[in-house]
């Protein structure tokens, strides 16, 4: 793919789509500044069969960085949730999705949370949620007469037997719990060859939770689910690398791309650095300003103070 931005040397953009069955399509377009439109440089080099394929089927999920936060109630969607099995780009239908499909089984035992016997979606979502945010339990109340879902949480108190847990509205607990719920649902409900696009899955999570999110992403990828993640979290990436180290995910199944702004004067382009992962979960190169930031901070803290 060739990108187009304000600093691009040419007014052209191109991209290629390669499918598992060998079909390949290429598009070359040129930005016409006077008309503010994109037009073909040349006709697309694709077969008619390519148009019969679709990347964005019911097996596709896209969750944007700005997801829906805690609410006293969440809307239902008969079209998106029930018919198309979608969560909404902000994850706004995740609660409704769970009430509809929570009894279905996840696609593989490799995706299942360890030590949880049931592979039903609802139980697995609660198990992973409880690991990412320790002790969290999920409660969904279907308000069918007004087409809303009430989402509540309770928390394990470390007791062997708990007669009754106090349930809290999502608005009265940590923001990150509701924010991460649709991410967990999207990954666990997907099937092999599904495509899941995630922006900042680590948002509002503490470091341990971010690392566990990385493990869940790795487990989903090991099941043949294609997961594309945009993240600023080294903890998420470490969770993926640890999964490689543990043999959960093969190193060749991980592709990393780090976008680094050029330091050259009058050059606003970005360099794409693509570290490779070995079987031990280690990288062959460390992009500047990402993994090395911890070492830089420790070096300063171990040095002489200003006082």
Higher pLDDT residue, 23 or 41? 23
Tokens of 258: 């780090």
Question: Quick one: three-class SS letters along 261-276?
Answer: ECCCCCCCCEEEECCC
Q: How many angstroms separate the Cα of 202 from the Cα of each of 115, 177, 234? A: 24, 11, 10
State mean pLDDT over 227-232.
Answer: 96
Q: Binning pLDDT at 50, 70 and 90, where does residue 51 land?
A: low
pLDDT tens for each residue of 174-196? 999 999 999 999 999 999 989 99
136-176 pLDDT, tens digit per residue, is 999 999 998 999 999 999 998 665 445 567 899 999 999 99
Q: Rounded CA gap, 195 and 211, in Å?
A: 22
Q: How far apart are CA 181 and CA 94, in angstroms?
A: 7
End-to-end, the C-alpha distance of the chain in Å comes to 52
Query: Which of 281, 273, 206 has the alpha carbon at shortest distance from 240?
Result: 281
| Per-domain boundaries in the chain | 1-53
Beta bridge partners of residue 261, listed in sequence order: 270
The pLDDT of residue 158: 60
Would you state the pLDDT for residue 192?
A: 93
Radius of gyration of the chain (CA): 22
* pLDDT score recorded for residue 160: 47
Q: Is the dihedral of CA 106, 108, 114, 117 positive or negative?
A: positive
In this prediction the pTM is 0.85
Q: Give CA 292 to chain center in angstroms.
A: 24
d(CA 46, CA 48): 7
pLDDT in tens, 255-307: 999 988 777 777 667 788 899 999 999 999 887 777 777 777 878 888 887 76
């Amino acid at each position: 793919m060739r990108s187009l931005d304000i600093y691009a040397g040419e007014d052209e953009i191109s991209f290629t789509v390669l499918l598992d069955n060998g079909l390949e399509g290429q598009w070359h377009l040129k930005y016409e500044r006077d008309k503010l439109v994109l037009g073909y440089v040349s006709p697309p080099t694709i077969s008619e069969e390519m148009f019969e394929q679709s990347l964005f089927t019911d097996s596709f999920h896209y969750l944007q960085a700005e997801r829906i936060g805690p609410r006293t109630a969440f809307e239902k969607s008969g079209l998106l949730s029930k018919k198309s099995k979608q969560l909404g780009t902000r994850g706004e239908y995740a609660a409704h999705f769970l009430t509809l499909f929570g009894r279905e089984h996840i696609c593989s035992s490799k995706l299942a949370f360890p030590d949880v016997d049931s592979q039903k979606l609802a139980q697995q979502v609660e198990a992973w949620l409880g690991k990412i945010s320790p002790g969290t339990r999920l409660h969904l109340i279907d308000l069918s007469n007004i087409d809303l879902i009430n989402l509540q949480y309770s928390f394990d108190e470390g007791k062997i037997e708990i007669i009754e847990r106090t349930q809290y509205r999502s608005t009265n607990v940590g923001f990150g719990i509701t924010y991460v719920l649709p991410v967990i649902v999207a990954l666990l409900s997907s099937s092999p060859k599904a495509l899941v696009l995630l922006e900042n899955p680590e948002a509002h999570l503490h470091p341990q939770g971010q690392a566990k999110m990385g493990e869940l992403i790795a487990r989903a990828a090991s099941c043949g689910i294609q997961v594309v993640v945009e993240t600023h979290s080294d903890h998420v990436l470490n969770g993926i690398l640890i999964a490689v180290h543990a043999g959960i995910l093969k190193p060749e199944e991980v592709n990393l791309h780090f976008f680094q702004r050029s330091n050259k004067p009058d050059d606003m382009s970005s360099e794409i650095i693509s570290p490779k992962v070995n079987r031990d979960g280690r990288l062959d190169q460390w992009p500047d300003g990402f993994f090395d930031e911890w070492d830089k901070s420790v070096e300063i803290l171990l040095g002489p103070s200003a006082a």
